[in-house]
Amino acid sequence: MAESNCTQVTEFSLTGFTEDPVTQVTLFLIFLLTYLVTILGNLGMIALIRASPQLQSPMYYFLGNLAFVDLCSSTVITPKMLVDFISEKKGIAYAGCVAQVFVFDLFGMTECFLLAVMAYDRYMAICHPLLYPLVMSPKCCFQLVSGSYLMGLTNGIGQTIGMFNLSFCSSSVINLFFCDISPLISLSTSDTTLSHIILRTSASLFGVSSSLVVLVSYVAIISAILSIRSAKGKHKAFSTCASHLTTVSIFYGTSLFMYLKPSSDTSRDGDKWATVLYTVVTPMLNPLIYSLKNKEVKEALRRLMKIKCKFM
């Protein structure tokens, strides 16, 4: 419970990355370019999947939802960060901080489960190709995606409840570039037991369980690939999983590190760059990793361009 003489803060200050003006301008341009690529890449992926009949499969259905989640999670973080680079006052209102915590944790956990669903999809496609059309039916795919959003919503509500339980009296400076629940817990002057329980339970129950689905799926996938006699067949199977495995490693590695580490380590400056990987870089890389090296996506893009040229 908050102390009786506590004056609750109405605004938080974000430290960002640096106070050096030249470095701030450089980082502003880098992150602006990153955000533009993120927006164009993910919107382009969504539009291409919707417009191309040959991309109407479970794999691209999940990928379209992943692009939407990346678009939303990046938008709740990056625009505010860009504004802070060119503003003297790097602040965010309490209500805005609550909204940022809710939306970011909603889409962050949704992405965890979507990546797990995509790993399961690859497992069924490689290990049980004959059962794949039956198991990964449109109804099942819809349920898997809906469940991912539901888990994200549960996480967002839980973290928001944890934040409402906190009081902030002695300091309002968040040593990060956005409002995240971990530094807010460290900043609080009230009892943080409930918030810690919610955070660790969410990270352990949701984050670890979804990462286990990925791990078990890929153990089975690798075992199945190694049993393929044809070198060409092995290469083709590995190529369908390499991009997903790369994204999973970056996303799960940095996010689990941030939320499962001891709370006393939450204010280190080096953690900001680890956070950048899964809040800014990963949403940009996903459409590039999953599409630019994918022959089906390239072919679908060529067909749409040809159709467009005919009508011009």
What is the per-residue pLDDT across 181-212, written as a single tens digit (0 to 9) for each? Answer: 888 888 887 778 888 888 888 877 887 888 88
| pLDDT surpassing 50 at residue 84 | yes
DSSP string, the chain: ---TT----SEEEE--S---HHHHHHHHHHHHHHHHHHHHHHHHHHHHHHH-GGG-SHHHHHHHHHHHHHHHHHHTTHHHHHHHHT-S--EEEHHHHHHHHHHHHHHHHHHHHHHHHHHHHHHHHHH-TTTHHHHT-HHHHHHHHHHHHHHHHHHHHHHHHHHHT----S--EESSSS--HHHHHHH-SS--HHHHHHHHHHIIIIIIHHHHHHHHHHHHHHHHHHT---HHHHHHHHHHHHHHHHHHHHHHHHHHHHHHS-GGGTT-THHHHHHHIIIIIHHHHHHIIIIIT-HHHHHHHHHHHHHHHHT-
Query: In the structure, what pLDDT confidence band is assigned to residue 68 with cuts at 50, 70 and 90?
Result: very high
Under a CB-based contact definition with an 8 Å cutoff, are residues 100 and 92 in contact? yes
- Percent of the chain exceeding pLDDT 90 equals 31
Which fold is adopted by the domain 11-310? Rhopdopsin 7-helix transmembrane proteins (1.20.1070)
Query: In the structure, what pLDDT confidence band is assigned to residue 1 with cuts at 50, 70 and 90?
Result: very low
Q: In the chain, where are the structural domains located?
A: 11-310
Cα-based angle 243, 253, 267 (whole degrees, multiple of 5): 140
What is the per-residue pLDDT across 240-280, written as a single tens digit (0 to 9) for each? Answer: 677 777 777 777 776 666 655 555 444 455 567 778 887 88
Under a CB-based contact definition with an 8 Å cutoff, are residues 291 and 43 in contact? no
Give me the mean pLDDT over the 34-40 stretch: 94
Query: In the structure, what pLDDT confidence band is assigned to residue 5 with cuts at 50, 70 and 90?
Result: low
- Percent of the chain exceeding pLDDT 70 equals 85
What is the per-residue pLDDT across 118-163, written as a single tens digit (0 to 9) for each? Answer: 999 989 988 888 999 999 999 999 999 999 999 999 999 998 988 8
| pLDDT surpassing 90 at residue 90 | no
